[in-house]
Structure 1
Amino acid sequence: MKKTNWLLLVLALVLSMFLVACSGGSDDTSNSTDDADSEDTSDTEGEASGDSEQVLNLIDGAEIPTMDASMATDAVAFQWLGSTMDGLYRLGEKGQPEPGIAKDHEVSEDGLTWTFNLREDAVWSNGDPVTANDFVYAWQRAVNPDTGSEYGPYMMGGVIKNAASIAEGETPVEELGVTAADDYTLEVTLEKPVPYFESLTTFGTFLPLNQAFVEEQGDQYALEADTLLSNGPFVMTEWNHGEGWTVEKNEDYWDAENVQLQQINVKVVKDTATGVNLYDTGEIDRVGLSSEFVDQYRTSEEFQINEEPTLFYIKMNQENEILSNVNARKAIQMVIDRQSMVDVILNNGSLPAVGDIPQNFVTHPESGEDFRELNGDLVEYNLEEAQNLWSTAKEELGIEEAELNYLGGDSEVAQNLDAYIKDQLQQLEGLTVNVQSVPFQERLDRDTNMEYELQNSGWGPDYIDPNTFLNMWVTDGGNNKTGYSSEEYDSMIQKANTELAQEPVERFELFLEAEKMLIQDDAVLAPLYQRATAQLWKPYLKGVIVNPMGPDYTYKHAYIEGK
């Protein structure tokens, strides 16, 4: 059973101990943009008061690695790309696409050809018009193997015609299924119907690029404020590496009249206590709280809990003899008390994870019911049943004792939470768990090479569709790395994305079945928690939209009122 003394020991632990795949932020994200996917913070229809200075002051826990949309892979880069750039569409309220450079689009009856009609009043910050050719160049560059983009092949492969074969060097880049019919008409040909393609176009990898400017800058492109261009609400005017950056309102933006903030200043601050002090003294307008500060500020009117569609779970390498046994995996699922983990250890509003799809992420296309509510809890904490399953597994394996290595992070916080999970797992009679604490990059490398047995891992969505979570676990999937292979599961995911691609109700219901097979029947993962973050927001900050994917925040409609 759970050890109360242990819970008291770790009461003050902070949440942000793990990087999340897919736009992950820094290892300490309490002040990072990676901490904030949630509901809107205020009404976006308001207007700034005439007396308030429209300057927003923020902190972030990490430097921007690059502002090159083809090369970006992390939350910080995608945040500021989304603030300074417009793609075909951008994220609006409740994660819904709203017009960006595209005014509208048409889709062919077979779902394979998408024609985007572009606005003619959009310009780059150097005065050049934004045209269809900017999208053709950017998307070709992203999948060109000479570019070395990670997300280009990942996001476009199997989606845009010929993207996968181009990324493999088998097809000329000019044969990518994207063409400019004229300066303001973009035609995209898909490999198959993709129901979530409009949502995909909001993602940073699909942003346009000005070819002449990019090629003029060469390998210095997007590494400094003066070696990048903007076509969005803000322009980066200052970038002091390791210290911070400034973006200012883009007066030449096509929708500039609806942008009220004049300037956003960002400082790099990695220490939560320093960030809280800056907030208390009025130097910044928002701060993330680590768990030791939550109880101190919980009663404040400025305190907010922000739920994210980001899941953490234990991956189990089925190439290991013990973990190849489904009853052993089910025992591991059942032995962890998730409710105590989120209530006492995380202490920030995080939720117990009970499946592979987070709550409040996607809804049934007909009934409007939440996916998580429809499928219910696919795992539960049941120590007695966990012991029974573990006993059955040991009998089937012909063993009395077992030893498993658990791959975790090397920060103090990560090691403390990993020790808690070890404590939970070792409630299974005869099981010894050895925690291996390594730097994040080494953990990524060992995951890629499947050099682990148990591993704490996480995932956030790339687009608003169940497929972004469920497609990961198909046989030989690039992010699978568990050894799991099921012809039945593969066929379900394939059917959902081909035969049922244009049948939204049947497709959604097939995804419900697939999740049950993945978690309940095959026990591929041991879900842990759905992340939430505790933050303080100044009450005068209005109109910020908090997104479920891509840029964590949309500042286009933000304003200061009553400061």
Structure 2
Amino acid sequence: MKRNKMLLLLALSFVLSVILAACGSDDKAKDNASSGADDNKNTEQDTKSEPDAEQVLNLMESAAIPSVDSAIVEDAVGFNVLNNVNEGLYRLNLENVAEPAMAAEEAEVSEDGLTYTFKIRDAKWSDGTPVTAHDFVFAWQRAIDPATGSPYGPFMMSGVIKNATAISEGTMDKSELGVVAEDDKTLVVSLERPVPYFLSLMSFGTFYPQKEEFVTAKGDAYATNSDSLLYNGPFVLTEWDGTGDSWVYKKNEHYWDAENVTLETINVNVVKDSATAVKLYNDGKKDRAGVSGDLALQYANHEEAVLQPDTGVFYFKFNQERDGKETPLANVNIRKAIAKSFQKEDLADVVLANGSMAANYFVPKNFAYDESGKDFRELSGDHLVYDVEEAKSYWKKGLEELGVSELELEILGGDTELSKKMDEYFKAQLEKNLEGLKITLKEVPFSVRLELDTNQDYDIQVSGWSPDFQDPISFLDLFVTDSTNNLMSFSNAEYDELIAASKEELALDPKARFEAFAKAEKILLEEEAAIAPIFQRGLIQLEKPYFKDLGIHPFGADYSYKWAYISGKE
């Protein structure tokens, strides 16, 4: 959603100097195919070792916690914390399979795909009281209530859960939301339409339960510090005063699956600077650290370096209308020329040097899979591959159609030193390969970039997106004509129809649905060049070899510590 876009734009501004914390299906086979976890060394594919040391972990986060209220949280750090101290109906496991968590078993789904019935397991809050179906009803109603001001509630529920759109718009009472507790152990959810990725959503933080009696009693103080929260997840949050740059996770003895939680304590400090983080790691004070920029080059071959795959994709946005007038980028041949005229591999391997890879696609690799487990990328293939001769041909044709011999275009970018270096790379590539093109660079602070994006006051902008749930539509829905994330005046009727069909008549036909997505991606990229893919983000982390089974997720929260443990520490 917008917040994810903001996080990724911010990440782009710092991607060469600071590693930031990052921040769907109709049955288990479709919803939960492996999402690339096998690429990480901390998976159960390795020989399982036994915990043999004090189970205390020392970690770093990139920012302080803004909120741990599941109705309010919208940032990466908040979702990471929430994922480890609370739990929804489903949870992503080490293989990134969404499996029953607060749900005692797989959901019962009606034949028309519109009704999901969940049985709530015997689980307790950290105060010893039972988690019930009513806790989900309260939390979801609170998240969709306009009075709450939830950023994710309307985004995740509208058009998905029955009556959510009307409630979020203030035309219907929150009590009409399509979620009912038939009894303490039975939760029934009614949908507006079949949603193939619905069970994937059930692992997302916005859908976690809240105990009404506790939230009401705390009032405005709810979720303002670690003592004003209840926990139903693997850990409880302690030593967080609501503003500080440190906090501690302690094992939650009331957690229903506590016997499978090994870590006793996780100490977390906020460290914003990559060089400082690496020093703390090398000094043995921290067990994991992100590296980027020059440090990434320095540590890429380090014996404790781990490549962390990521599903964030960065791309050029081509703004077709500015100040009420068409821009030269309204010409499809100009867009195609630019999209094919810069060397992505060099950018990823030399400039970024952090495990990122060149992207000739929008929906990322190792993210969405069909019923047989095949990556969506195998179905859709590559688009807008670097080809200077083709780029020059498109450029010549575009200039002729515009009746000009040269163009001046602006690239909107960040204001950090290394972000400027990346923008200079784009400028050099484009001006070298497209005769008559002059690129000006507008490098501004993050907040200014957001304002310029919202007002469509740019020509070309480097943007990015990371998914909230496991389905290609998390990406492709961005560029339908009326999307609030379009913000570049792109419109294609056939594209809109394909995305609409994926939500309606094709919703229960997975094969046809993925074929529609592939066709839509081809229109977006190959036919229209509405955007130009650049790279799929990767991260390099330094990680102590005794740190085992960290859960790394390609959507939703970044990390799970439920299965992590320490073994082999000297």
Is TM (by shorter chain) over 0.5?
yes
Residue correspondence of structure 1 range 386-535 to structure 2 within 5 A = 386-427=391-432, 428-535=434-541
Residue 555 of structure 2: aligned partner:
549
Residue 268 of structure 1: aligned partner:
270
d(CA) in 1 for partners of 2:463, 2:314: 6
Whether the aligned pair in 2 keeps the contact of 1:260 and 1:557 (CA below 8 Å) is yes
d(CA) in 1 for partners of 2:57, 2:379: 40
d(CA) in 2 for partners of 1:357, 1:315: 15
Whether the aligned pair in 2 keeps the contact of 1:48 and 1:560 (CA below 8 Å) is no
Give the alignment partner of residue 281 of structure 1, picking from 283, 287, 291: 283
d(CA) in 2 for partners of 1:405, 1:216: 53
d(CA) in 2 for partners of 1:23, 1:225: 25
Whether the aligned pair in 1 keeps the contact of 2:21 and 2:558 (CA below 8 Å) is yes
d(CA) in 1 for partners of 2:100, 2:6: 24
Residue correspondence of structure 1 range 205-224 to structure 2 within 5 A = 205-224=206-225
**Residue type of the partner of 1:187?**
V
Give the alignment partner of residue 34 of structure 1, picking from 3, 22, 33: 22
- The unaligned stretches of length 5 or more in structure 2 are 24-34
How far the C-alpha of 1:281 sits from its partner, in A, is 1.3
d(CA) in 1 for partners of 2:127, 2:49: 29
Secondary structure in 1 aligned to 2:63? coil
Is it true that 1:346 corresponds to 2:352 in the alignment? yes
d(CA) in 1 for partners of 2:244, 2:461: 31
Secondary structure in 1 aligned to 2:22? helix
How far the C-alpha of 1:48 sits from its partner, in A, is 6.7
Residue correspondence of structure 1 range 21-420 to structure 2 within 5 A = 21=5, 24=8, 28=14, 30-34=18-22, 39-44=39-44, 49=50, 51-104=52-105, 105-120=107-122, 122-239=123-240, 241-319=243-321, 320-366=326-372, 368-420=373-425
Whether the aligned pair in 2 keeps the contact of 1:85 and 1:233 (CA below 8 Å) is yes
How far the C-alpha of 1:445 sits from its partner, in A, is 2.6
How far the C-alpha of 1:47 sits from its partner, in A, is 6.8
How far the C-alpha of 1:297 sits from its partner, in A, is 2.6
How far the C-alpha of 1:497 sits from its partner, in A, is 1.5
TM-score, normalised on structure 1?
Answer: 0.93
**Residue type of the partner of 1:41?**
K
Secondary structure in 2 aligned to 1:21? helix
Whether the aligned pair in 2 keeps the contact of 1:44 and 1:542 (CA below 8 Å) is no
d(CA) in 2 for partners of 1:51, 1:382: 54
Whether the aligned pair in 1 keeps the contact of 2:51 and 2:566 (CA below 8 Å) is no
CA change 1:37–1:126 in 2 (3 A) is farther
Residue 10 of structure 1: aligned partner:
none
How far the C-alpha of 1:22 sits from its partner, in A, is 7.2
Count residues with an aligned counterpart: 543
How far the C-alpha of 1:309 sits from its partner, in A, is 1.1
CA change 1:50–1:34 in 2 (3 A) is closer
Whether the aligned pair in 2 keeps the contact of 1:48 and 1:559 (CA below 8 Å) is no
Whether the aligned pair in 2 keeps the contact of 1:247 and 1:263 (CA below 8 Å) is yes
Cα displacement string for residues 22-53 of structure 1 (whole angstroms, at most 9, x for unaligned residues): 76576647454329995443244977746400
Whether the aligned pair in 1 keeps the contact of 2:36 and 2:366 (CA below 8 Å) is no
Whether the aligned pair in 2 keeps the contact of 1:132 and 1:182 (CA below 8 Å) is yes
Whether the aligned pair in 1 keeps the contact of 2:40 and 2:308 (CA below 8 Å) is no
CA change 1:219–1:403 in 2 (3 A) is farther
Secondary structure in 1 aligned to 2:329? coil
d(CA) in 1 for partners of 2:303, 2:468: 32
Whether the aligned pair in 2 keeps the contact of 1:83 and 1:554 (CA below 8 Å) is yes
Between stretches 93-102 and 534-543, larger displacement belongs to: 93-102
CA change 1:481–1:37 in 2 (3 A) is farther
Secondary structure in 1 aligned to 2:95? helix
Between stretches 453-462 and 124-133, larger displacement belongs to: 124-133
d(CA) in 1 for partners of 2:308, 2:439: 33
Instruction: Give me the CA root mean square deviation.
Output: 2.0
How far the C-alpha of 1:302 sits from its partner, in A, is 1.1
**Residue type of the partner of 2:101?**
G
How far the C-alpha of 1:519 sits from its partner, in A, is 0.5
How far the C-alpha of 1:376 sits from its partner, in A, is 1.9
Percent same amino acid at aligned positions?
49
CA change 1:430–1:28 in 2 (3 A) is closer
Cα displacement string for residues 355-379 of structure 1 (whole angstroms, at most 9, x for unaligned residues): 111111122324x332213322101
**Residue type of the partner of 1:227?**
S
Secondary structure in 1 aligned to 2:104? strand
